[in-house]
Amino acid sequence: MRAMVYEGPGRCALTTVPDPQITDDGDVIVRVDATTICGTDLHIVAGDVPSVRRGRILGHEAVGTVEQVGSAIHTMSPGDRVLVSCISGCGVCRYCREGHYGQCLSGGGWVLGHTIDGTQADFVRVPFADTSTYRLPDGVNDEEALMLADVLPTGYEVGVLKAGVGPGDVVAVVGTGPVGLAAIMGARLFSPSHIVAIDHADLRLDAAKQFGADVVVNNAVSDPLPVVHALTDRLGADVAIEAVGRPETFELAVALGRPGAKIANIGVHGKPAAFHLEDQWIRDITVTTGLVDAYSTPTLLRLIASGQLDAARLVTHRFAFDDFDQAYEVFSHASDTGAIKVVLSA
Ligand SMILES: NC(=O)c1ccc[n+]([C@@H]2O[C@H](COP(=O)([O-])OP(=O)(O)OC[C@H]3O[C@@H](n4cnc5c(N)ncnc54)[C@H](O)[C@@H]3O)[C@@H](O)[C@H]2O)c1
Ligand SMILES: [Zn+2]
Ligand SMILES: [Zn+2]
């Protein structure tokens, strides 16, 4: 089969590899109908994620058709259309029982395209498939469902829900890549009074406006703090969501919050970020962070099916599987190409 394979720092290529086989009775083999590229894949290809070994098939997001099921599978059959989530969960360990699938103790968590072969291929072996895939209703198309594999639950759970966005809140979102945009869409569901989007790329800020931000600030050009203060009687934002993963954007998110604010860090950080406890201890703030668990997937699926969440608008570019190299190229130059999510279809 065709697969996008990590070949060591700086290199990945579309390669012909053997088809995956069922190795556990809880596995299914899914024929991938649509997959996408995540910013994390770019980090892997750059060599920033050493736990990914050379030869690994990339990708942790897919929509596909069940091809083969292990003997212990009882919620799906060959021919079923399913969403393959970025998070796999055994369903029975302590963390899975508490809905923290990302922290699964029995070989789940973020494994696809990380510690086992991933979804950027004609076929993928999905472990713990009963508790890690979702049957898709007819009214939801492949592209919108694909947005549920990672970006939408990440923005919603690690951003909006952890920060407890509520009616009337002023919400600042630092970083409006796909995850920040997903956080903006999710925040809108709770009727905030303002969403202030902050990014240093104008194309991304244009997208943020379309996704529901009513105020945008290019922080390469102007300081977002006075903008947030002007909206909040100089108090600061009720909620600040960090969706970049750099020290300076985390520090900005903390600075934007009012006393009592919730600061939700979504970004994956590769370098230490300063938290000035000497200034912050007196401000009653709450800082949250975490890996997505994807427990919200069924809720988000219902919101898409009912038309309350327009997930398909995240998709800006479409490619055939054979054009994987070009898709990586376009996605990795998002500030020039305007790419948000690219979809590769079989
Ligand atoms: N916690 C989780 O479970 C989880 C899951 C998925 C992704 N993530 C992380 O979320 C973050 C966002 O993901 P994404 O796919 O949207 O990434 P992305 O790289 O596409 O978007 C980041 C955005 O931040 C902007 N940006 C960069 N530096 C900036 C700065 N100094 N000031 C303002 N804006 C700046 C960029 O222009 C871009 O629009 C990443 O760190 C990613 O690894 C976390
Ligand atoms: Zn991802
Ligand atoms: Zn588990």
DSSP characters over 114-125: TTB--SSBSEEE
SS3 percent helix, strand, coil of the chain, rounded to 5, is 30, 25, 45
The pair of three-digit structure tokens given for residue 178, joined into one six-digit string: 């796909």
Comparing C-alpha atoms, which of 141, 143, 137, 135 is closest to residue 77?
Answer: 135
pLDDT of residue 91: 96
Atom of ligand 1 nearest to the CA of 291: 3
Comparing C-alpha atoms, which of 292, 336, 344, 341 is closest to residue 312?
Answer: 341
Which residues 6+ apart lie within 8 Å of 337 measured at CB? Answer: 317, 330, 331
Comparing C-alpha atoms, which of 298, 6, 13, 47 is closest to residue 156?
Answer: 298
pLDDT at 337 over 90: yes
Rg (CA), the chain: 20
Instruction: Provide the percentage of residues in the chain whose pLDDT is more than 70.
Output: 100
CA of 109 to the centre of ligand 3 (A): 8
Ligand nearest to the CA of 98: 3
Q: What is the residue whose two structure tokens read 């009074």?
A: 193
pLDDT of residue 141: 96
> Using CA atoms, how far apart are residues 64 and 142, in angstroms rounded to an integer?
8
DSSP state of 193: S
CA of 291 to the centre of ligand 2 (A): 10
pLDDT at 16 over 90: yes
Q: Are 12 and 5 in contact (CB under 8 A)?
A: yes
The number of C-alpha atoms within 13 Å of 341 and in the hemisphere containing its C-beta is 29
Please report which confidence band the pLDDT of residue 270 belongs to, taking 50, 70 and 90 as the band edges: confident
Atom of ligand 1 nearest to the CA of 334: 20
CA of 267 to the centre of ligand 1 (A): 6
pLDDT at 208 over 90: yes
- The pLDDT tens digits of the residues spanning 215-267 come to 999 999 999 999 999 999 999 999 999 999 999 999 999 999 999 999 999 99
Mutational test site, ligand 1, from 154, 179, 330, 336, max ligand atoms within 8 Å of CB:
179
Atom of ligand 1 nearest to the CA of 176: 39
Comparing C-alpha atoms, which of 317, 333, 338, 326 is closest to residue 143?
Answer: 317
Which residues 6+ apart lie within 8 Å of 158 measured at CB? Answer: 264, 265, 266, 288, 289, 290, 291, 292
pLDDT of residue 221: 98
Mutational test site, ligand 1, from 242, 244, 256, max ligand atoms within 8 Å of CB:
244
Atom of ligand 1 nearest to the CA of 266: 1
Atom of ligand 1 nearest to the CA of 39: 15
Residues contacting ligand 1 via CB (< 6 Å): 39-40, 150, 154, 158, 174-180, 198-201, 204, 219, 243-246, 248-249, 266-268, 291-292, 334
- The pLDDT tens digits of the residues spanning 80-120 come to 999 999 999 999 999 999 999 999 999 999 999 999 999 99
235: left (phi over 0), alpha (psi -120 to 50) or beta: alpha
pTM (whole model) above 0.95:
yes
Mean pLDDT of the chain: 97
CA of 199 to the centre of ligand 1 (A): 10
Give the 3-state secondary structure of residue 1. Answer: coil
